[in-house]
Amino acid sequence: MSGQDREDMFDYKLEKWVLGIDECAFEYLRGIGKDKSLRQYLIESVDTWANKDEPLLTDKFILDMCDFIKNENEDLYYRLMNKCALKGISAGEGIFEALGLLTCGTVSEQQCRELRDNISE
């Protein structure tokens, strides 16, 4: 497969992946692909996103939770990061999902409602 064929296949897979998530984003991405390389757009976008300083207070706490998990069980931390990456979610979303499964997956819906009521009181 030539370099151009690999790039075309990469663009196709990227577009297909985005289409599976959001049709509007897919249309936007296709428009960008007419003016610049999708590979270059991907690199620029990730660089901008990764370097963006977001003043969310929860970011620090999520980092604290991740540090705690890593200090307690490094293998678990890396499995968490891997699963979040594969699911395309943040570490905070993964931890939230895990906590939801831990709580609601082991109790009935009625028990879950009672638990929420007791916490809110």
SS3 of 95-117: HHHHHHHHHHCCCCHHHHHHHHH
Same domain, 42 and 13: yes
Cβ contact 103:112 at 8 Å: yes
Same domain, 29 and 42: yes
DSSP state of 19: H
Q: pLDDT-derived band of residue 116, with 50, 70 and 90 as boundaries?
A: low
Distance from C-alpha of 113 to C-alpha of 120, rounded to nearest angstrom: 11
Return the exposure string of 29-60: e unless at least 16 CB atoms fall within 10 Å of the residue's CB, then b.
beeeeeeeebeebeeeeeeeeeeeeeeeeeee
Q: Mean of the per-residue pLDDT values for the chain?
A: 78
> Mean per-residue pLDDT for 63-72?
92
Give the model's pLDDT for residue 107. 47
Give the model's pLDDT for residue 24. 81
- Asked if the model's pLDDT at residue 102 lies above 80, the reply is no
Same domain, 63 and 104: yes
Cβ contact 32:41 at 8 Å: yes
> Mean per-residue pLDDT for 43-52?
81
Same domain, 62 and 98: yes
Last residue of a domain, one of 18, 33, 52: 52
Same domain, 5 and 40: yes
Same domain, 61 and 40: no
Same domain, 65 and 25: no
Instruction: End-to-end CA distance of the chain: give it in Å, rounded.
Output: 64
Same domain, 33 and 84: no
**pLDDT tens, 19-47?**
888 888 888 888 887 777 888 888 888 88
- Joined tokens for residue 108: 């009935």
Q: pLDDT-derived band of residue 76, with 50, 70 and 90 as boundaries?
A: very high
Same domain, 82 and 103: yes
Same domain, 19 and 62: no
Classified as helix, coil or strand, 53 is coil
Show the domain range for 77. Answer: 56-121
Q: pLDDT-derived band of residue 56, with 50, 70 and 90 as boundaries?
A: low
